[in-house]
């Protein structure tokens, strides 16, 4: 259980870095965040996490049934079929291909740590951005989740960048 909570906390911290305060309730509505350290609350208007010592961790009534990580990132699976995957990646990018008055290039293909059964909703971002624009492209129809990050620059540029992704979709 400690690994599940730690993975959820890391995933939520990646999703909402330094934005939300801890806010955890038991099923009776008692606030527990002064007693427990369990990730961060969802944005206003979305359900908050619920801890029940007998039953485990819940979000909107759906228990976490699996979580983990591998070389492709982290994942949390909920019993209702929802899955959240995330990762922070560092890679060298060559924005050296001329395209009119700018240059473009792309990072290596991104693969999710667990397969989705259909195309997930994905957001990506650069941590250190010397590029004028970024785009992501290439989810294949099988939902296995391969994306490629494209970057655009006013100058020919090769640089190691750090970027992240969050993907929310269905595992069953």
* CATH code of the domain containing 132: 2.60.40
Note the pLDDT of residue 22.
42
**Based on the domain organization, do 101 and 52 belong to the same domain?**
no
The reply to whether 74 falls in a domain is no
The reply to whether 32 falls in a domain is yes
Domain count, the chain: 2
The reply to whether 72 falls in a domain is no
**Based on the domain organization, do 159 and 119 belong to the same domain?**
yes
**Based on the domain organization, do 153 and 93 belong to the same domain?**
yes
Which of 10, 41, 60 finishes a domain?
Answer: 60
Residue-wise pLDDT for 145-172, tens only, equals 567 778 888 888 888 888 888 989 999 8
The reply to whether 66 falls in a domain is no
CB distance 37 to 29 below 8 Å:
no
Note the pLDDT of residue 88.
92
Residue 84: strand pairing partners:
76, 168
The reply to whether 68 falls in a domain is no
pTM above 0.85, yes or no: no
| Residue range(s) defining the domain that contains residue 166 | 87-170
**Based on the domain organization, do 121 and 50 belong to the same domain?**
no
Mean pLDDT computed over 57-79 = 81
């Amino acid at each position: 259980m400690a690994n599940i909570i730690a993975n959820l906390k890391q995933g939520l911290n990646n999703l909402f870095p330094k934005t939300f305060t801890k806010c955890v309730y038991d099923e009776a509505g008692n606030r527990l965040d002064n007693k427990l350290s369990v990730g961060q609350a969802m944005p206003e208007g979305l359900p908050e996490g619920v801890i029940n010592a007998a039953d485990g961790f819940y979000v909107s009534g759906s228990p976490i049934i699996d979580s983990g990580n591998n070389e492709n990132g982290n994942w949390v699976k909920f019993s209702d079929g929802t899955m959240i995957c995330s990762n922070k990646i560092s890679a060298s990018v060559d924005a050296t291909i001329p395209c009119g008055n700018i240059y473009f290039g792309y990072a290596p293909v991104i693969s999710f740590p667990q397969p989705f059964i259909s195309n997930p909703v994905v957001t990506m971002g650069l941590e250190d951005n010397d590029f004028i624009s970024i785009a992501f492209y290439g989810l294949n129809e099988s939902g296995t989740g391969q994306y490629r990050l494209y970057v655009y620059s006013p100058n020919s540029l090769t640089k190691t960048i750090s970027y992240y992704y969050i993907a929310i979709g269905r595992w069953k």
